[in-house]
Amino acid sequence: MSERISRRKLFGLGAAGVAAAGAGVIALRAGEEEHAPTAAHVAAAGGAVPFYGEHQAGIITPAQDRLHFVSFDVITDKKAELDELMQEWTAAAARMTQGKEAGTFGAVGGLPEAPPDDTGEALGLPASGLTLTVGFGASLFDDRFGLASRRPAALAPLPKFPGDALLPEISGGDICVQACAHDPQVAVHAVRNLARIGFGRVSVRWSQLGFGRTSSTSRAQATPRNLMGFKDGTNNLKLEDEALLAEQLWVAPGDGQDWMTGGSYLVTRKIRMMVETWDRAPLDEQQQIFGRDKGEGAPLGRKAEFDPLDFAAKDATGQPLIKADAHVRLAHPSNNGNAHLLRRGYNYVDGSDGLGRLDAGLFFMAYQRDPRRQFVPVQLSLARNDALNEYIKHVSSGLFACPGGVRDAGDYWGRALLT
């Protein structure tokens, strides 16, 4: 297939007009008006999210339905090869996010004697809101590539939290790519092609599939439910909170390493849920654990989902309605030095565990300006006191520095770090 023919055209959708209101806007079909994302846009599963910009897409982009997250180890010790790979990856990512094939020849347009430069399983599928977001782990800043002096202080290893049961083989990694899309086949295709392009230079360390986004990152989105049946993402940072995003999400000039300006730090935690035990807990207890009701998602003592939390409200016996060990009380910015997180997690089910139990939970992801000030204190408080701990176990952890956006076709992932 030629460079000029996109998967979208194959699919018959026609050219896309690009909405202009910052990262997270979704390309519209010809003839549609351009404006900021609405629920209708978010639901427009075929759209393409702009790849170039001040910030990487996939952070404040309205959370798509599906996730394929992958963490790579770099296996070459040559910096030039790493640099070249980042350029090749960026070119492929710029194409795939716009609904095109990974390479310029495509799945069936190259020489019959050569392996195709696209694997083909997304032929005929639209862009599906695909975003590809890259991040660098602390291990990349060892002495292999001379990057030690460029490691941001904020990329310090996370402390061991009480109750952690982390498996090293599904934790950490040199480079991560978060692929989000409305169609799982499109997300899988993107990760598979990046891994194919990286052959001999990177190897997949671990990966995670997710579904049913467990956060809203825009007020235009309805709040989804996690596998415990609760609305998750109500009090999240949202793309409309511009002042808070500048204060809490984006790395600013002077924060440390210049190459991170416009970027953000991503913490991932795979949190297994003991769903069979949870399912035997009374509704009242479940609601007290979170501090919200299960149906509406309203704070206990209030009526509607977005009513403010009232930590002073008491029941008839004088006990707080939202208990001292309730998840939302412990996680709230007012109890953590005004630390906010932009949560962007997904439900996961990895089948069952051989003992008849569902191997399921939350693949928690949160972006922030400095994890030392944000994720760490919040998680310390949760790990020590959260009533939810009886039903969950943290089994994997990652921390990645996600640089600012790729500005244009002359720029590439990690250019400011590697050059």
Ligand X SMILES: C=CC1=C(C)c2cc3[nH]c(cc4nc(cc5[nH]c(cc1n2)c(C)c5CCC(=O)O)C(CCC(=O)O)=C4C)c(C)c3C=C
Q: Please pick, from the candidates 136, 145, 230, 311, the single residue that binds ligand X as defined by CB under 6 A.
A: 230
Q: Does 249 bind ligand X (CB under 6 A)?
A: no
> Under rule CB under 6 A, which residues in 339-368 are in contact with ligand X?
341, 361-362, 364
CB-based contacts of 179, cutoff 8 Å, min separation 6: 67, 68, 69, 70, 130, 131, 132, 187, 188, 190, 191
Residue closer to ligand X by CB (options 54, 285) is 285
Q: Does 321 bind ligand X (CB under 6 A)?
A: no
Q: Does 248 bind ligand X (CB under 6 A)?
A: no
175: nearest Cα among 143, 211, 210, 201: 201
Helices 79-96 + 184-197 axis angle, to 10: 150
Residue closer to ligand X by CB (options 230, 259) is 230
For residues 40 and 43, what is the distance between their CA atoms, to the nearest angstrom? 5
Q: Tell me, what amino acid is at 92?
A: A
Residues near ligand X (CB under 6 A), total = 29
Q: Please pick, from the candidates 119, 264, 287, 379, the single residue that binds ligand X as defined by CB under 6 A.
A: 379
331: nearest Cα among 267, 380, 367: 380
57-68: b or e for each residue (b if 16 or more CB lie within 10 Å)? bbbbbbbbbbbb
Q: Does 375 bind ligand X (CB under 6 A)?
A: yes
- The residue whose two tokens read 């939970």 is 361
Q: Does 370 bind ligand X (CB under 6 A)?
A: no
Q: Using DSSP, state whether 348 is helix, strand or coil.
A: strand
For residues 58 and 65, what is the distance between their CA atoms, to the nearest angstrom? 12
Q: Does 233 bind ligand X (CB under 6 A)?
A: yes
Q: Please pick, from the candidates 178, 235, 248, 286, the single residue that binds ligand X as defined by CB under 6 A.
A: 235
Q: Which residues pair with 212 in a beta bridge?
A: none
Q: Please pick, from the candidates 194, 378, 401, 417, the single residue that binds ligand X as defined by CB under 6 A.
A: 378
* Span interacting with ligand X, options 42-50, 53-61, 281-289, 374-382, rule CB under 6 A: 374-382
Q: Give the CA distances from residue 286 to residues 300, 323, 361, 385, in Å, rounded to whole numbers and listed in that order.
A: 12, 12, 16, 16
- Shortest gap between Cβ of 70 and ligand X (angstroms)? 21
Q: Does 221 bind ligand X (CB under 6 A)?
A: no
CB-based contacts of 58, cutoff 8 Å, min separation 6: 49, 131, 132, 133, 178, 180
Q: Please pick, from the candidates 201, 213, 302, 327, the single residue that binds ligand X as defined by CB under 6 A.
A: 327
Q: Does 331 bind ligand X (CB under 6 A)?
A: yes
Residue closer to ligand X by CB (options 150, 292) is 292
Q: Does 226 bind ligand X (CB under 6 A)?
A: yes
* Span interacting with ligand X, options 17-25, 115-123, 267-275, 317-325, rule CB under 6 A: 267-275
Q: Does 271 bind ligand X (CB under 6 A)?
A: yes
Q: Applying CB under 6 A, which residues contact ligand X? A: 226, 228, 230-236, 269, 271, 273, 290, 292, 309, 327-328, 331-333, 341, 361-362, 364, 375, 378-379, 382, 392
